Amino acid sequence: MAKITLRDLGHSYMPNPKAPADYALKKLDVEWRDGGAYALLGPSGCGKTTLLNIISGLLVPSHGQVLFGDRDVTKLPTDERNIAQVFQFPVVYDTMTVYDNLAFPLRNRGVAEAQVDKRVRTIAEMTDLTGMLNQRASGLTADGKQKISLGRGLVREDVNVIMFDEPLTVIDPHLKWLLRSKLKELHQKLGTTMIYVTHDQTEALTFADEVVVMKDGEVVQIGTPVELFEKPRHTFVGHFIGSPGMNIVSCTVSGGAVHVGETKIAVDNTSALKSRSGTFELGVRPEFTSFAKSGLPVKVTKVTDTGRSRIVDTRWGDQSIKLVVAEGDAIPSENAFLAFDAAHSNIYDNNWLAE
């Protein structure tokens, strides 16, 4: 086990990349501590899988280094890196039994059979495969097969890191919950560094201590789930995380005062804007937006009841602002005023948080 450092990492699939757009993965500096649970979160095509393949050694980056502990492994082949990976679709060896599947990574490394047996039984216990050990792997259901993949990822004790590449994609929704909590439990039990790649915010936020949010090959924010929720560094993070996403409204700033249209908005953190003026964006989550006696005048356009709370769509000019309102609270029928929680209102300059 080891700390993982990515130093000045970048990758392009083209032979002579010039413009930043040629890069599938832009400059990246990250340090992951030993034994942590991390998630790489971003939409499809944002470079998550590229980054994962660089760490696993399936891809050599165009520049930069990958360090496991103090050892530079950038150019080492996969089998010398001592890592494990679970893929999006279950990979099982059809002709083998479940037992042989789990034992495969150990036997390939010449582990003594007694040790193999002990380890396979432990892992089978953890992944609920004990009853099926003697069955042929090809006969299992999709989630059974994915459990085998998971088990093969966990079976070696000494791996540097275990990586999960959207491992729950093919699993039924009700089993997703089970497997997800199982993973979290396994992480606590084993203490191995784990990196979890997903485009599903719920999976990322529930699994990881720290989430790396990526967009267009670039890391836009690294933070704990709370940081991502309360202080998104980029409007993309605001949109992508949270349901519904953050409200973004254009605003003007002059002399530290924020105005949306004619209405003055109270924002706590404007230290970075003291000496600046011009057009910016105000970002407030629907959870921190509420109806008030006075404030920003809007029109209510739609109410969606989610059962636990209601999501209200309002319009200010041609911009949409959403609110989360508790069940039972009154909702004005058409014209209303909005207030924003000053402590949770952020100002963005060209999509990046003004700090």
Partner 1 sequence: MNKTVNQKAWFFVLPVIILVAFNALIPLMTVVNYSMQETFGDNTFFWSGVRWFEEILRSDRFWSSLGRQLFFTFMILIIEVPLGVAIALTMPKKGPWVSVCLVLMALPLLIPWNVVGAMWNIFALPDIGLLGKLLNSIGFDYNYTRQTGDAWFTLILMDVWHWTSLVVLLAYAGLVSIPDAYYQAALIDGASKWKIFRFIQLPKMKRVLTIAVLLRFMDSFNIYTEPVVLTGGGPGNSTTLLSIDLVKIALGQFDLGPAAAMSLIYFLIILLTSWIFYTLMMRNEEQ
Residue 29's contacts (CB-CB under 8 Å, 6 or more residues apart) are: 6, 7, 8, 9
Applying CB under 8 A, does 118 fall inside the site for partner 1?
A: no
Nearer to partner 1, 83 or 336 (CB): 83
Please report whether residue 14 would count as binding partner 1 according to CB under 8 A: no
Stretch of 79-87, 184-192, 196-204, 225-233 lying at the interface with partner 1 (CB under 8 A): 79-87
CB 58 → partner 1: shortest distance, Å?
Answer: 6
Size of interface with partner 1, in residues (CB under 8 A): 23
CB closer to partner 1, 122 vs 351 = 122
Q: Which of 149, 289, 345, 346 binds partner 1 (CB under 8 A)?
A: 149
Span of 83-91, 261-269, 282-290, 301-309 interacting with partner 1 by CB under 8 A: 83-91
CA distance 161 to 318: 48
Interaction between residue 355 and partner 1 (CB under 8 A): no
Question: Which residue in 9, 28, 39, 84 binds partner 1 (CB under 8 A)?
Answer: 84
Give me the 35-64 binding string for partner 1, x by CB under 8 A, dash otherwise: ---------------------x-x------
Q: Least CB distance from residue 183 to partner 1, whole Å?
A: 18
| Contact call for residue 31 and partner 1 (CB under 8 A) | no
Closest by CA to 247, choosing from 265, 270, 220, is 265
Q: Any contact of residue 202 with partner 1 (CB under 8 A)? A: no
CA distance 320 to 30: 36
Work out the burial of residue 231: count CB atoms within 10 Å of its CB; fewer than 13 is exposed, 13-18 middle, 19 or more buried. Answer: middle
Decide the pairing of beta strands 247-254 and 4-11.
Answer: unpaired
Tokens of 249: 């409204």
Task: Return all residues near 173 (Cβ < 8 A) that are at least 6 apart.
Answer: none
CB 301 within 8 A of CB 354: no
E strands within 122-227?
161-165, 194-198, 210-215, 218-223
142 binds partner 1 (CB under 8 A): no
Count of CB atoms within 10 A of residue 15's CB? 7
Q: Does residue 78 belong to the site contacting partner 1 (CB under 8 A)?
A: yes
Q: Does 89 bind partner 1 (CB under 8 A)?
A: yes
Candidates 11-19, 94-102, 227-235, 248-256; binding stretch for partner 1 (CB under 8 A): 94-102
- For residue 84, the minimal CB distance to partner 1 (Å) is 6
Is the Cβ–Cβ distance between 259 and 336 less than 8 Å?
A: no
Site membership for partner 1, residue 152 (CB under 8 A): yes
- Decide if residue 79 touches partner 1 (CB under 8 A): yes
Would you call 257 exposed, middle or buried from its count of C-beta atoms within 10 A (0-12, 13-18, 19+)?
middle
For residue 43, what are the CA distances in angstroms to 216, 263, 276, 296? Answer: 9, 35, 33, 33
Q: Contact between 164 and partner 1 (CB under 8 A)?
A: no
Q: Is 176 in the site for partner 1 (CB under 8 A)?
A: no
Kindly report the number of other CB atoms within 10 A of residue 95's CB atom.
Answer: 10
Q: Catalog residues that contact partner 1 under the rule CB under 8 A.
A: 56, 58, 77-79, 83-85, 87-89, 91, 93-96, 104-105, 108-109, 136, 149, 152
